[in-house]
């Protein structure tokens, strides 16, 4: 039979043999609280029909329907039509024409509209153009179709939603749509092509991992991802990273504060198998076994991490070990452009003129080394699984009556959006290819490099002392930009796969 064979029967009372009332839960309860009990004038023989109390029908959308169409598309309606026993969600009644009348309880008006749309799909068997562009309604249609066990309608609705793409499914829209979709059921799992298209869209929206971790709205969306979508995201080659460390941080946030809290051990094993362990930095190799969701064999993890730190690539069954997950040695992900990363992660500290003047005039302490009289701190930034902060101390040196500033980059505690903390890790100098610090001085804001440090530092405390000159408080202006001494520091993380 050709698709849409019954399209002309949609909404037509002719030949209809069943009536549906789509009503909200509130309407059903209100009708149930006030039953309409008839009092016949004469006694009638007791029959099964007369013994059943009549109830007030709830207000709702009443639609003519056909048993053949309902039963062919929905196991839910097929069951209801085969029995006259009311359930908690439906009641079996008769309409004025003697046809079976089903009261179908739905959550709210939005679901009532979605239910009508799903019924239309059973007849026309294709998505009407008018419903193509409403992500929220398509998501509710998916939920209703799943509840009614209408697999063909679910495929149409979910397929239309997935086809909207990243342009229509922004982070804000996805945050509204995801809770409405019936993830966690077997129904969506059977729609492989549609699920792949939808997860590809989500991955596109969340492809910039550094932006996800530093933008509260994107991070909230990540936490809301169901397991099926998160698994695809974690294994995607389309992710753009500052470091593979950031993927571990994202997974840790999802497991601790998102849908990952409900995951089984087997699901967490699948998820951690998507981490590209080969491209983590050394300290993150050491942290894997401390993660409560890392359930892989400890010896296998240690062996793989050690060999990766030594620039060796372990193979499957290497030294008789169990096969490692394929994701552990997968190719490095796309690297965030250096200019973009530098723009996002440059540590900026602007010291106002008044504070510098106070540092010059404040009395020194009793010890000669206590020439620092003022301390300043920048806002922390996140990069490559670490949180960094630029600190500066300013004061007058005994041997040279000029203003001196010492600056350093430190690891600090840091909270991502909504208070989620970065994994606690030790100082990791081998995570960085270089660190550079500069000062902007003079009316034009010319940049003067204070120092550049290469890999192999004992700590990431890149210190530099410099003298602005034997200047009085009145002479500070020639060294300031916009009334501030402007310090900048940039850190270049180790590229994926670089050893």
Q: Convert the pLDDT of each residue in 45-86 to its tens digit.
A: 433 333 344 456 777 778 889 989 999 999 999 988 886 544
Residue 66 CA to its chain's centroid (Å): 43
Q: What's the average model confidence in pLDDT over 298-314?
A: 76
At which of 290, 316, 336 does a domain end? 336
Does 229 score more than 70 pLDDT?
yes
User: How many domains in the chain?
Assistant: 3
Residues 407 and 314 in one domain: no
Q: What is the pLDDT of residue 312?
A: 67
Task: Let me know if residue 249 belongs to a domain.
Answer: yes
Q: What's the average model confidence in pLDDT over 78-102?
A: 64
Q: What is the pLDDT of residue 449?
A: 58
Does 322 score more than 80 pLDDT?
no
Residues 452 and 473 in one domain: yes
Q: What is the pLDDT of residue 499?
A: 46
Indicate the average pLDDT of the chain.
Answer: 77
User: Of the ranges 140-154, 232-246, 455-469, which one carries the lowest mean pLDDT score?
Assistant: 455-469
Q: What is the pLDDT of residue 495?
A: 62
Task: Let me know if residue 139 belongs to a domain.
Answer: no
Three-class DSSP category at 436: strand
What string of DSSP letters covers 111-178? Answer: HHHHHHHHHHHHHH-S--GGGTT-HHHHHHHHHHHHHTT-HHHHHHHHHHHHHTHHHHS-HHHHHHHG
Residues 358 and 329 in one domain: no
- Tell me which H or E stretch contains 305: helix 298-309
Residues 304 and 360 in one domain: no
Phi (first) and psi of residue 494, to 5 degrees: -65, 130
Confidence of residue 447 (pLDDT cuts 50, 70, 90): low
Task: Let me know if residue 158 belongs to a domain.
Answer: no
191 against 494, higher pLDDT:
191
Residues 95 and 26 in one domain: yes
Task: Let me know if residue 302 belongs to a domain.
Answer: yes
| Contact indicator for 25, 9 with CB cutoff of 8 Å | no
Q: Which of 282, 287, 299, 298 is nearest to 251 (CA)?
A: 287
Does 323 score more than 60 pLDDT?
yes
CATH of the domain at 91: 3.30.710
73 against 460, higher pLDDT:
73
Task: Let me know if residue 351 belongs to a domain.
Answer: yes
Residues 318 and 405 in one domain: no
135 against 456, higher pLDDT:
135
Q: What is the pLDDT of residue 238?
A: 94
| Contact indicator for 453, 403 with CB cutoff of 8 Å | no
Q: What is the pLDDT of residue 445?
A: 55
Task: Let me know if residue 309 belongs to a domain.
Answer: yes
At which of 71, 95, 126 does a domain end? 126
Residue 85 structural domain? 1-37+50-126
Tens digit of each residue's pLDDT (9 = 90 or more) over 13-34 = 777 888 888 888 888 888 773 3
Q: What's the average model confidence in pLDDT over 221-233?
A: 94
CATH of the domain at 428: 2.60.210
Residues 366 and 328 in one domain: no
Nearest-angstrom CA–CA distance, 445 and 239: 37
Q: What is the pLDDT of residue 2?
A: 52
Q: What's the average model confidence in pLDDT over 284-288?
A: 82
Residues 311 and 353 in one domain: no
Please state, in angstroms and as integers, the Cα–Cα distance from residue 116 to each residue in 21, 113, 130, 131, 136, following that order: 10, 5, 14, 12, 15
334 against 365, higher pLDDT:
334
Residues 488 and 471 in one domain: yes
Tens digit of each residue's pLDDT (9 = 90 or more) over 403-425 = 666 777 776 765 665 555 555 44
Task: Let me know if residue 174 belongs to a domain.
Answer: no
User: Of the ranges 293-297, 398-402, 487-491, which one carries the lowest mean pLDDT score?
Assistant: 398-402
365 against 427, higher pLDDT:
365
Q: What is the pLDDT of residue 31?
A: 77
Residues 307 and 400 in one domain: no
- Looking only at Cα atoms, what is the longest distance across the chain? 118
- Range among 117-121, 373-377, 390-394, 403-407 rated most confident: 117-121
Task: Let me know if residue 184 belongs to a domain.
Answer: no
What string of DSSP letters covers 37-105? Answer: ----SS-----HHHHSPP-PPPP-EEEEE-HHHHHHH-HHHHHHHT-----SSEEEEE-TTS-EEEEEE
Residues 472 and 370 in one domain: yes
Q: What's the average model confidence in pLDDT over 34-53?
A: 37
Does 221 score more than 90 pLDDT?
yes
Residues 250 and 358 in one domain: no
Phi (first) and psi of residue 340, to 5 degrees: -65, -45
At which of 287, 303, 336 does a domain end? 336
């Amino acid at each position: 039979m050709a698709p849409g064979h019954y399209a002309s029967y949609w909404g037509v009372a002719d030949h209809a043999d069943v009536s549906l009332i789509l009503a909200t839960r509130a309407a059903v309860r209100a009708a149930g609280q006030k039953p309409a009990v008839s009092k016949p004038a004469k006694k009638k023989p007791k029959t099964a029909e007369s013994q059943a109390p009549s109830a007030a029908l709830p207000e709702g959308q009443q639609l003519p329907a056909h048993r053949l169409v309902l039963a062919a598309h929905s196991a839910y309606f097929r069951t209801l039509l085969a029995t006259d026993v009311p359930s908690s969600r439906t009641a079996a009644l008769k309409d004025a024409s003697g046809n079976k009348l089903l009261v179908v309880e739905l959550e709210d008006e939005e679901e009532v509209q979605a239910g009508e749309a799903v019924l239309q799909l059973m007849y026309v068997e294709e998505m009407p153009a008018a419903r193509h562009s409403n992500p929220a309604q398509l998501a509710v249609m998916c939920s209703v179709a799943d509840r009614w066990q209408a697999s063909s309608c679910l495929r149409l609705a979910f397929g239309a939603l997935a086809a909207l793409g990243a342009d229509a499914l922004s982070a804000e829209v996805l945050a509204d749509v995801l809770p409405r979709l019936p993830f966690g059921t077997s129904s969506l799992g059977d729609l492989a092509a549609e699920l792949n298209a939808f997860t590809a869209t989500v991955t596109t929206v969340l492809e910039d991992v550094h932006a996800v971790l530093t933008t509260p709205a994107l991070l909230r969306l990540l936490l809301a991802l169901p397991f099926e979508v998160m698994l695809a995201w974690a294994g995607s080659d389309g992710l753009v990273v500052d470091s593979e460390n950031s993927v571990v941080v994202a997974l840790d946030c999802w497991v601790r504060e998102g849908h990952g809290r409900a995951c089984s051990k087997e699901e967490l094993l699948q998820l951690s198998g998507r981490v590209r362990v080969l491209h983590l930095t050394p300290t993150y190799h050491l942290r894997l076994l401390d993660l409560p969701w890392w359930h892989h064999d400890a010896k296998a993890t240690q062996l793989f991490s050690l060999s990766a730190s030594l620039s060796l690539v372990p193979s499957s069954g290497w030294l008789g070990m169990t096969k490692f997950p394929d994701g552990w040695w997968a190719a490095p992900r796309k690297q965030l452009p250096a200019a973009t990363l530098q723009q996002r992660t440059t540590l900026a500290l602007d010291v106002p003129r008044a504070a510098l003047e106070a540092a010059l005039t404040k009395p020194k302490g009793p010890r000669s080394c206590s020439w620092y009289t003022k301390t300043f701190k920048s806002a922390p930034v996140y990069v490559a699984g670490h949180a960094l902060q630029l600190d500066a101390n300013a004061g007058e040196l005994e041997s040279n009556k000029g203003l001196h500033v010492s600056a350093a980059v430190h690891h600090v505690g840091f909270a991502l959006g909504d208070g989620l903390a970065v994994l606690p890790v030790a100082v990791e100098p081998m995570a960085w290819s270089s660190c550079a610090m500069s000062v902007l001085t003079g009316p034009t804001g010319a940049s003067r490099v204070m120092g550049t440090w290469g890999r192999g530092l004992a700590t990431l405390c890149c210190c530099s002392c410099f003298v602005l000159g034997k200047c009085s408080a009145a002479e500070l202006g020639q060294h300031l930009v916009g009334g501030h001494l402007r310090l900048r520091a940039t850190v270049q993380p180790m590229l994926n796969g670089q050893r």
